[in-house]
């Protein structure tokens, strides 16, 4: 990788992320108050939404936009399936396999933001509809995972028959769907997108001192908190084990490769293809765990949360962002 | 105990924050007159440390207590007990003397 | 109403308000942390104060300014009285009538802000002293309501004589006045105004990246929280009943009409008259409930709070702002 | 109970947040040695759900407890009881064994 | 008390927030099965008012409770008692009926 | 002092500080949520660090920079020693003497910020390495104070021999050092400095809408909270007593004099000398109390915290900032 690509890392917000990890490792008491973390996370979604939505209002809905959104939904549905079959080759607890699959089928908004900053700095544009792709990828993975977990439950029930004293306490599908679609952060992103579409460039201009100018500072704080969280999760790494650790770094690369192939086949513009790879490669550590904890209570959150947050997220930030760029430029021949 | 109080059970439940709503619906269905929620507590138990300072509330606890008669205490603790097979949590029952406003004496 | 006027609604902060209501109605778990809500509300007051105060330092205190401030105090005193007599025609609990009167005599800073944005966009200026009017209208209504409640208490005591086991637990007037005048949000506004006056245009310039440039974004978050609050209150609407619902939408219109007449009679500039109408038409859902809960404990907060927040506030934002503008331009002939 | 503790009453009060100060002054006037405040709790009772996530603290609860002897417990509960005729709240009294530092043994 | 509960002691400790970690290590060392933390409480005691709204957490309290058998309750209260000679704090012990999940019955 | 110097006080953030004190004195319920206070304090450190670090990257490390940093470490070590010997002349509890010494040896970042604003307004520059001086002065004072307290403990143990029922519950030195160096706010400043150095002017530019443009507004909120804290501490003033009150206002002046002499002797530029005086004259009310409460549990925090926050901090803001400027211009002859 040439030096140019590593400039991604010499950016204050990214450096604050590493600082956060470091602070936890040396057991500092540094802490971002939870109320602020929650606010920053809503702020990030507002910023993505306003930017993507106003871009969409400007450009209109092209044929490529529709193709990308359909591809996004397909990938969010398919990734959990093949992930599950890979995972069950080694995992004894099949509920864990289902839950982990959900996080990898879904997406990480902060990875999306960091990649968008990276590629914009290189002068390569991407469409406002990529924010729509981000939206539509959140929920299908959850639904898939719940179906997989349901399959597991039936199978185990068959096997165990009369043994089953531990009754099935998982939520009914209807309630899961309600949670998946009304999740606060999910709605915030959708609403911001729609408001961006409705108010267009005018709305963007009004909001931009807040949502764009001071964005990097807010991102620095949010990534600092992410770093702190990653740092505290690192201690639980041994629970995760070598197999899942490997999964956490290889899977994003495989997923990005599949996305690359689709993007090339369907003729996406390079910037869009890159962002699509990022979406497919990233894993969810906010929305999915919150729903899956209810939907698949038998799965261990220390596994799926730690993998998405403490393995795949930093891997994508440090290696994935430049690597996928190498891949896309190799194929598109920039 | 203090003269004008009503002898009741104080049923305290520590539970994963994500399960707070189910607990409340159990309490409601048992016909309790009310409950009080302590929205963010942290702790350690059988399932390890639950810090409450993460990006997700998956590792956070909540606490709720309800003042009820012995019979309802039993129903609630049995229902909640089923839930805490799968979720972090504990149920604590103590004797309490409860003083209500006069017009609520009929609880 | 022409399209021009509805542009008020196609503004990101206002749209986030509607989104907040919607999110509550579909039972989303979206939530702004209370610590942030409190901060945004202090921020809004700082922004109003700095802007109004520095404007005042610039313009000096004109004859019109003095007239407006006196009118504001008079209206804050008179509105509770006639409101009370209207309310007691139908309300059985006279304490409720007194408490509701207080909220309608007092003011809503966010309605003030939204109107100020609206009218500024139309290029119509208003004086910095309008922020002073906002300040002076907060407390007189509380005092009036307490006097009315005292009246009710004496009357009931006379009627009931020996029956009265439920002793009068309301606060002494001195303590009520202390609370009304030292209320944190009230003081914040006064202090910001004075600091705006003291530091003038220089102070405004120093602060404006914070208090003006990012203002719309902060307002969007605050209105989102307002929407969430309105949304949760909507469920208590049946408690309010048809009579009070009607009161909540008709009273602001009547009050704005009275204000219009006064403004015209005293020869206010159009922008000032409009803002004066807004002040008189709006109802308080922050400062007044906080004091009145102590001062008139016999009144039911679900009534007075819900009416001010969930009926009159949205009514003013959606219909009132353009309607009062129609009214003022009709008379002033813009 | 545990040997070196002092037998006392734990008087817990859930109350509207706006009334916290009056409750504290009642506790002080009763001559209690101290109190502990849980500043934000939510709950449901006779007066409906008190969510604590509103723009005003009028719909918010607070909780406070004080460790006192039986006599003071009675005084406090009687005084607070008067208040909760008009305000949301409840009083909970339990037996407790309290351990103080040595130099405070005389409480 | 309610039938299927285990008779235990609920040991509640109010302590300066800066000492929370030491308290927890005392609880851990006594072999308790867990604890629950109420991270921010305020209060008044022998050492005056501890408001919790300062720039530093030096004037803030925390509260923690642990459910243990009588023997461990004694050990914990003795250890904590040593600490609260120097630090603001109090120990409260009550009888409680605790309901655990089935697989934890052996506590 | 000429009018020019008092302009320091006619600045919105400083005025919000006085407002905070006033609000507490009249027992207003105004309150900044603790979560926000914590955030503002981290924000301030980020802003200082980014600014200082990027300045350092620009200027490089000069001979003067090295001299200043060494002087800073020396003063942070020496001030606690002579402070301790002054204090023990009158204080009975020698642990209190040791703890107070630590706060005066250490520094206040907000005093640093306010002085930096003051002197920048007068057009006098200071080096980015002054932020490094701020960093290196935080911990040595703590170490010194702990050594002093250890001395006290040995002495008392000797005197009391068998009496000693109150066992020594202080932390081992290793743990104290860990706390002193991994303290969250301390690390935040160091990290921001290093990130400022690493990303240079580019990084500063990216971050400046957040860390510079809206700075004054954030400072206003933070100083408001400081004022509220000072206001509530004022009631504990009688516990402090006349001797310590005198110490709290005279010591900063003495310390600034010593710093002035060193600065002159070593030939610092005037702006650097002034900032050095400020550092030496200020006392720590955040980092030091947090560590010393563990390290010297026998000392009474109401004394050392109140002195640093409620006496020395306001003294420096109101009188110290212009006074030390008078002193430095008198010697440098501006
Ligand atoms: N022995 C105990 N004492 C107090 N709290 C406990 C105890 N055991 C568990 N808890 C609380 O209950 C939560 C869930 O417990 P567990 O399901 O055992 O992990 C913990 O995080 C603690 O907050
Ligand atoms: N049965 C109960 N159990 C626990 N908490 C209660 C109960 N009843 C009331 N509370 C608490 O006391 C507050 C006021 O009660 P009330 O005055 O009955 O509305 C409620 O918001 C709850 O926090
Ligand atoms: N009598 C009491 N009742 C309830 N809480 C108390 C009592 N005494 C002390 N506390 C709590 O324990 C903390 C420390 O007490 P102290 O060491 O006595 O200052 C106080 O800040 C209160 O939170
Ligand atoms: Na993905
Ligand atoms: Na009004
Ligand atoms: Na110093």
Nearest CB to D2 within list E42, E70, E85: E70
Q: How far is CA C175 from CA C106, C147, C170, C179, F180, in A?
A: 19, 14, 10, 6, 46
- F154 CA to centre of ligand 2 in angstroms: 55
Calculate the CA B17 to chain-centre distance.
12
Q: Do chains E and C touch (3 or more CB pairs under 8 A)?
A: no
pLDDT per residue as tens digits for the range C9-42: 789 999 999 999 999 999 998 989 888 999 999 9
Closest atom of ligand 2 to D41 CA is 23
Q: Any chain E CB within 8 A of the CB of F106?
A: no
Assess whether chains B and F touch, using the rule of 3 or more C-beta pairs within 8 angstroms: no
Tell me how far the alpha carbon of residue F293 lies from the centroid of ligand 1, in angstroms.
29
C286: which chain D residues are within 8 Å (Cβ-Cβ)?
Answer: 55-56
The string of pLDDT tens digits covering residues B91-103 is 999 999 999 887 7
Q: Does the Cβ of D88 fall within 6 Å of ligand 2? A: yes
Q: Could you say which of E40, E46, E94 has the minimum Cβ distance to residue D33?
A: E46
Contacts of residue F213 in chain A, CB cutoff 8 Å? Answer: 213-214
Is F31 an 8 Å CB contact of chain E?
Answer: yes
The structure tokens listed for F229 are 């804290």
- Collapsed DSSP state (helix, strand, coil) of residue E84: coil
Asked if D101 is an interface residue toward chain C (Cβ–Cβ < 8 A), one would say no
**At what angle are helices A184-208 and A129-136 packed, to 10 degrees?**
170
Residue for token digits 């005197």?
F159
- State which ligand 1 atom lies nearest to the alpha carbon of E37: 23
pLDDT at res. F277: 98
B54 lies within 8 A of chain A by CB? yes
Encode pLDDT of C241-267 as tens digits.
Answer: 999 999 999 999 999 999 999 999 999
DSSP per position, chain D: --TT-EEEEEEEEEEEGGGHHHHHHHHHHTT-S-EEEEEEEEEEETTEEE-S-SSSGGG-EEEEEEEE-HHHHHHHHHHHHHHTTTS-EEEEEEEEEEE--GGGTT-
Which chain D residues are within 8 Å of B62, Cβ to Cβ? none
C contact test, residue of D40, D42, D56, D88 with most C CBs within 10 A: D56
Q: Ligand 3: distance of its center to the CA of E90 in Å?
A: 6
Counts of helices then strands in chain F (DSSP H, E): 17, 0
Contact D55 C169 (CB under 8 A): no
What integer pLDDT is reported at residue A2 of this predicted model? 46
* Nearest partner of C146 among C182, C177, C106, C107, judged by Cα: C177
Least confident of C143-147, C298-302, E47-51: E47-51
Percentage of residues in chain F having pLDDT higher than 90: 68
Residues A284 and A134 sit within 8 Å (Cβ to Cβ): no
Counting every residue written for chain B, the total comes to: 107
Residue of the CA atom closest to atom 12 of ligand 1:
B89
B37 vs D43, D73, D95: nearest CB: D43
From ligand 6's centre to the CA of D45, what distance in Å?
54
Nearest chain B CA: its distance from D90 CA (Å)? 6
Q: Is chain F in touch with chain C: ≥3 Cβ pairs within 8 A?
A: yes
Which value does ipTM take for this structure?
A: 0.89
Note the ligand closest to the C-alpha atom of A284: 4
Sign of the Cα torsion F265, F268, F273, F279 reads negative
Q: Please report, for residues C9, C249, C321, C325, the alpha-carbon distance to residue C253 in angstroms, rounded to integers and kept in the order given.
A: 19, 7, 11, 12
Compute the C-alpha angle A194/A200/A205, nearest 5°.
Answer: 120
pLDDT tens per residue, range B8-58: 999 999 998 888 989 999 999 999 999 999 988 988 888 777 766 556 667
pLDDT at residue number E62 = 92
Query: Which range is most confident: A116-120, E58-62, F174-178?
Result: A116-120
Q: What is the pLDDT of residue D33?
A: 92
For E4, phi and psi rounded to 5 degrees? -85, 15
Residue D46 banded pLDDT, cuts 50, 70, 90: confident
C318 pLDDT above the threshold of 50: yes
Q: Quick one: which of B24, B9, B7, B8 has its CA closest to B63?
A: B24
Query: Which of E1, E2, E25, E105 should one mutate to test binding to chain B, selecting the residue with the greatest count of B CBs within 10 A?
Result: E2
- Higher model confidence: residue A175 or residue F191? F191
E103: its two tokens: 């697989």
3-state secondary structure of A252: helix
Looking at chain E, how many residues does it have?
Answer: 107
Angle between helices F215-234 and F109-121 (to 10 degrees): 130
Average pLDDT over chain F reads 90
For the Cβ of E34 lying below 6 angstroms from any atom of ligand 1, the answer is yes
Radius of gyration (Cα) for chain B, nearest Å?
Answer: 15
Ligand lying closest to the C-alpha of residue C256: 5
Least confident segment among A108-122, F121-135, F284-298: F284-298
The residue ranking higher by pLDDT, A289 or F114, is F114
Structure confidence by residue, pLDDT tens digits, E11-41: 999 998 888 988 999 999 999 999 999 988 9
Mean pLDDT of the D55-68 span: 86
Q: What is the pLDDT of residues D92-107, one digit of tens each?
A: 999 999 998 876 654 4
What is the distance in angstroms between the Cα of F109 and the nearest Cα belonging to chain E? 13
Q: Which of D41, D84, D90 to mutate to test the pocket of ligand 2 (most atoms within 8 A of CB)?
A: D90
Q: How far is E63 from chain F (nearest CA, A)?
A: 18
Largest CA distance in chain E: 48
Cα→Cα distances E15→B43, C203, E24, E44, E83, Å: 16, 45, 11, 11, 9
- DSSP output for E11-39: EEEEEEGGGHHHHHHHHHHTT-S-EEEEE
Contact status of B86 with chain A (Cβ, < 8 Å) = yes
Q: What is the pLDDT of residue A5?
A: 60
pLDDT, averaged per 10 consecutive residues of chain A (334 residues), comes to 62 94 92 90 94 92 94 97 95 94 95 95 94 93 88 83 51 80 90 96 95 96 92 82 96 98 96 98 89 84 90 96 96 83
Token couple for C115: 């109107």
Which of E44, E77, E84 is opposite residue D35, by nearest beta carbon?
E44
Supply the mean pLDDT for chain D.
87
Neighbouring subunits of F (3+ Cβ pairs under 8 A): A, C, E
φ/ψ (deg, to 5) at E94? -130, 160
Nearest atom in ligand 3 to D65's CA: 4
């Amino acid at each position: 990788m040439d030096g140019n690509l590593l400039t991604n890392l010499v950016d204050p917000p990214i450096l604050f992320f590493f600082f956060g990890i470091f602070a936890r490792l040396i057991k500092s008491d540094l802490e971002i108050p939870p109320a602020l973390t929650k606010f920053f996370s809503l702020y990030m979604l507002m910023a993505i939404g306003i930017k993507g939505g106003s871009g969409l209002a400007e450009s209109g809905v092209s044929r490529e936009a529709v193709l990308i959104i359909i591809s996004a939904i397909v990938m969010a549905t398919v990734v959990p399936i093949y992930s599950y079959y890979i995972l069950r080759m080694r995992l004894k607890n099949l509920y864990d396999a289902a839950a982990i699959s959900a996080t990898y089928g879904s997406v990480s908004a902060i990875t999306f933001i960091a990649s968008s900053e990276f590629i914009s700095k290189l002068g390569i544009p991407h469409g406002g509809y990529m924010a729509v792709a981000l939206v539509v990828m959140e929920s299908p993975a959850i639904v898939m995972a719940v179906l997989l977990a349901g399959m597991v439950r039936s199978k185990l029930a068959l096997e165990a028959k009369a043994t089953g004293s531990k009754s099935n306490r998982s939520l009914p599908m209807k309630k899961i769907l309600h949670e998946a679609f009304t999740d606060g952060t999910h709605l915030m992103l959708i609403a911001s997108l729609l408001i961006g579409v409705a108010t267009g460039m005018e709305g963007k201009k009004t909001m931009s001192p807040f949502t764009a100018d001071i964005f990097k500072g807010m991102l620095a704080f949010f990534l600092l908190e992410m770093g702190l969280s990653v740092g505290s999760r690192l201690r639980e790494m041994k629970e995760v084990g070598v197999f899942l650790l490997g999964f956490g770094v290889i899977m994003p690369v495989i997923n990005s490769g599949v996305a690359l192939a689709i993007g090339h086949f369907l003729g996406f513009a390079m910037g869009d293809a890159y962002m699509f790879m990022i979406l497919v490669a990233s894993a969810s550590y906010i929305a999915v765990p919150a729903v899956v904890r209810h939907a698949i209570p038998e799965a261990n959150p220390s596994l799926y949360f730690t993998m998405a947050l403490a393995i795949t997220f930093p891997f994508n930030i440090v290696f994935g962002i430049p690597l996928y760029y190498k891949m896309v430029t190799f194929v598109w021949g920039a | 105990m203090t003269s004008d109080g009503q002898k009741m059970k104080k049923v305290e439940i520590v539970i994963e924050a994500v399960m707070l709503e189910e607990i409340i619906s159990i309490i409601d269905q048992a016909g309790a007159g009310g409950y009080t929620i302590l929205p963010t507590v942290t702790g350690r138990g059988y399932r390890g440390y639950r810090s409450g300072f993460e990006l997700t509330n998956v590792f956070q606890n909540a606490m709720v207590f309800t003042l009820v008669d012995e019979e309802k205490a039993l129903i609630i603790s049995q229902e909640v007990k089923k839930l805490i097979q799968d979720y972090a949590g504990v149920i604590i029952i103590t004797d309490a003397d409860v003083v209500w406003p006069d017009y609520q004496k009929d609880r």
